[in-house]
Amino acid sequence: MPRVSQDHLDARRKEILSGARACFARHGYEGATVRRLEDEIGLSRGAIFHHFRDKESLFLAVAEDDAAEMAAVVAKDGLVQVMRDLLDGGEPSSLDRAGWLGTQLEVSRRVRTDPDFARRWAARSEAVTAATRERLARQRELGVLREDVGVEVIQRFLELALDGLVLRLAMGMAADDLGPVLDLVEETVRRR
């Protein structure tokens, strides 16, 4: 049997995650049946589950990938940039908006309704929180952030703004006029 290269395995994993992201976004976790996953990804269940133990592991991998992409954007450009990227419909990073939003909403639902998932997700979601906290601490040291409130308060404020934007976009509400709102969010946390 020929040996498969790591590059091939990585490309296959990326292909599976991309198709699974679209399937979970379109159908939700419960609606993303194995048949639908096969159809969306274009691979057999054997090929899919050779890379992932089960549907739960596949969903967690999609969510972790999205969280890692988001943490990278936050570390480089900040949480407001993630929001701007969502408005632009391009980024965050290499993820499409619909897939990313679908994953975020499904993670939120599962955290609320599935205590086991909530426990597993808590550790994984720390990456975005840590990236935000570290970026804000660097900004504070550079004198960019306002100093009358703590970094933790600013972090929560920005996360709340992101949550509101995600909800608005998920509900299909107009977002083309929100650039000035994000300018205001950014100005609110900056030193005057």
Output the pLDDT for position 94. Answer: 43
pLDDT at 90 over 60: no
pLDDT at 91: 45
Whether residue 185 contacts residue 161, with contact meaning beta carbons closer than 8 Å, is answered with yes
What's the rounded mean pLDDT across residues 78-95? 72
Which residues face 145 on adjacent strands?
Answer: 190
- What mean pLDDT is predicted for residues 117-127? 83
Cα 120 to chain centroid, rounded: 16
Domain boundaries, the chain: 59-189
For residue 89, the model assigns a pLDDT of 63
Residues above pLDDT 70, as percent of the chain: 94
pLDDT tops 80 at residue 3: no
Is residue 13 a contact partner of residue 65, using CB atoms and an 8 Å limit?
A: no
Report the predicted TM-score, pTM, of the whole model to 2 decimal places.
0.80
Reported as a pLDDT band with limits 50, 70 and 90, residue 155 is very high
CATH topology of domain 59-189: Tetracycline Repressor; domain 2 (1.10.357)
